Amino acid sequence: MRTACYRAVPSKIDRRQSISVVGGRLKGEIDRRRSIQGEIDRQRSIEREKGKKKKKNRKKKKKKEKRRRKNTYRPCAVLARASSSLARRRRPRVVGAF
């Protein structure tokens, strides 16, 4: 009977570190190569870009909704004319027997 090869399980701390690693750095850890002010500016820039993207998506969604509403809306006067003209067409023409 063969026994399976087991690998060593990392401790909880190591596991947590590996999960929270983002882009080669721990989440929330400051990159030591930049100054603190530079890191703050970098984070703000990233957040600003996210905001622009969200704003663009909201604008696009609103425009799409507006277009959808525009297609379904018709003024009452136009509907009245359309229905009356359709009603006239449906009636059979009476041709005089003269």
DSSP states along 11-71: PHHHHHHHHSEETTEETTPPPTTS-HHHHHHHHHHHHHHHHHHHHHHHHHHHHHHHHHHHH
Q: Is residue 27's pLDDT more than 80?
A: no
Q: If you average pLDDT over residues 25-43, what whole number do you get?
A: 72
User: How does the average pLDDT of the chain come out, rounded?
Assistant: 68
Domain count, the chain: 1
Tell me the residue range of the domain where 39 lies. 18-89
Q: What is the pTM of this model?
A: 0.33
Q: If you average pLDDT over residues 73-96, what whole number do you get?
A: 57
Residue 73 within a domain:
yes
Residue 11 within a domain:
no
Residue 64 within a domain:
yes
Q: Are 36 and 30 in contact (CB under 8 A)?
A: yes
Give me the pLDDT at residue 67, please.
83
Q: How confident is the model at residue 40 (pLDDT cuts 50, 70, 90)?
A: confident
Copy the structure tokens of residue 53: 């993207």
Give me the pLDDT at residue 65, please.
87
Q: Mapping DSSP to helix (H, G, I), strand (E, B) and coil, where does residue 5 land? A: coil
